[in-house]
Amino acid sequence: MAIRIDGKAVAEKVRAKVAFEVAELKKQGVTPGLAVVIVGDDPASRTYVNNKKKACAQVGIYSEEYALPAATSQDELMELVAKLNVKKDIHGILVQSPLPNGLDEKAVVEAIHPDKDVDAFHPSNVGRIMIGNYHFLPCTPAGVIELLRSENIEIAGKNCVVIGRSNIVGKPMAMLLLHNNGTVTICHSKTKNLKEICRNADILVAAVGKPKFVTADMVKRGAAVIDVGMDRDENGKLCGDVDYENVEKVASYITPVPGGVGPMTIAMLLQNTVTAAKSQNWLK
């Protein structure tokens, strides 16, 4: 039976470290500041934004929310980002996705100053991640690495398989595993022999967005299985991309949903905000 990796406990350790760093920065007269922009009234986005604001308050990070109506124009949104780019008490900018139809998310991401891009979505930061010379790491993949480290799961030399090739999780996840000397395979909807490839993985990361997609016959006995998915099963109950009940019988380590990768994403966002506050001497 697999050891369950407790994302809540690991996230609490990261938050405690962040709270200490925030307190130290405040002694130097710097209060890390995060601006969260939400456009429209998507319920899931609203929940995420509320959770991020609450997390900021818990560790002492100053946060501002900019809630814009769904009818907001591209120009209005770009103007707000431009203002936040030069706002001295704001060190990190986060524009909650998805944006309403008609707004160009790519243009908005590219408009955020790379030094304030705490999501690490700006092409400049993406390029830095590729070459290994980065300021920020995308929150979810960085959280996955922290979870593996928390259980002393060795990445170097291991066969690592990532299912999913999104810009937010799949691709940067593969790069972080590679930077940690893993041998990495990225699988996606066009991959042939998916089951065989997955069965060769010592570390399997599922980020495909399909409920219970990874079944026990796809997992090598003793593998570490990280579930990035946040789905609903046939009964409307929250679940991941991994068939947890059956996969835990063959894996050595596994993350639950909820309570696995999810708490780490916000914890790493807080860490990125502190990193941004430390580095922004150009604002002074």
What is the rounded CA–CA span in Å between residue 20 and residue 96? 27
Give the angle subtended at the CA of 282 by the CAs of 277 and 284, to the nearest 5°: 80
What the chain holds in terms of domains, given with CATH numbers, is 31-115 (3.40.50.10860), 139-261 (3.40.50.720)
Closest CA to 266 of 132, 96, 150: 96
Task: Look at residue 281 in the predicted model and tell me its pLDDT.
Answer: 59
221 annotated ligand binder: no
* CB neighbour list of residue 181: distance below 8 Å, 6 or more residues apart: 155, 156, 157
Only one residue has tokens 């070459």, namely 131
Closest CA to 18 of 282, 278, 197: 278
182 annotated ligand binder: no
Closest CA to 272 of 138, 182, 154: 138
Backbone angles phi, psi at 68, to 5 degrees: -105, 145
7 annotated ligand binder: no
Only one residue has tokens 């969260």, namely 36
Judge contact between 270 and 258, C-beta under 8 A: no
Q: Which amino acid is at 270?
A: L
User: Could you give the 3-state DSSP secondary structure of residue 192?
Assistant: coil
Which two structure tokens, joined as six digits, stand for 196? 């065989």
DSSP class of 267: H
Task: Look at residue 284 in the predicted model and tell me its pLDDT.
Answer: 45
Which two structure tokens, joined as six digits, stand for 245? 């009940």
Judge contact between 110 and 78, C-beta under 8 A: no
- Which residues, in sequence order, are bridge partners of residue 92? 34
Q: Which residues are known catalytic residues?
A: 52, 96, 119
What is the rounded CA–CA span in Å between residue 273 and residue 91? 7
pLDDT in tens, 165-199: 999 999 999 999 999 999 999 999 999 999 999 99
Q: pLDDT 10s per residue in the chain (284 long)? A: 999 999 999 999 999 999 999 999 999 999 999 999 999 999 989 999 999 999 999 999 999 999 999 999 999 999 999 999 999 999 999 999 999 999 999 999 999 999 999 999 999 999 999 999 998 999 999 999 999 999 999 999 999 999 999 999 999 999 999 999 999 999 999 999 999 999 999 999 999 999 999 999 999 999 999 999 999 998 989 999 999 999 999 999 999 999 999 999 999 999 999 999 999 854 44
pLDDT in tens, 122-178: 999 999 999 999 989 999 999 999 999 999 999 999 999 999 999 999 999 999 999
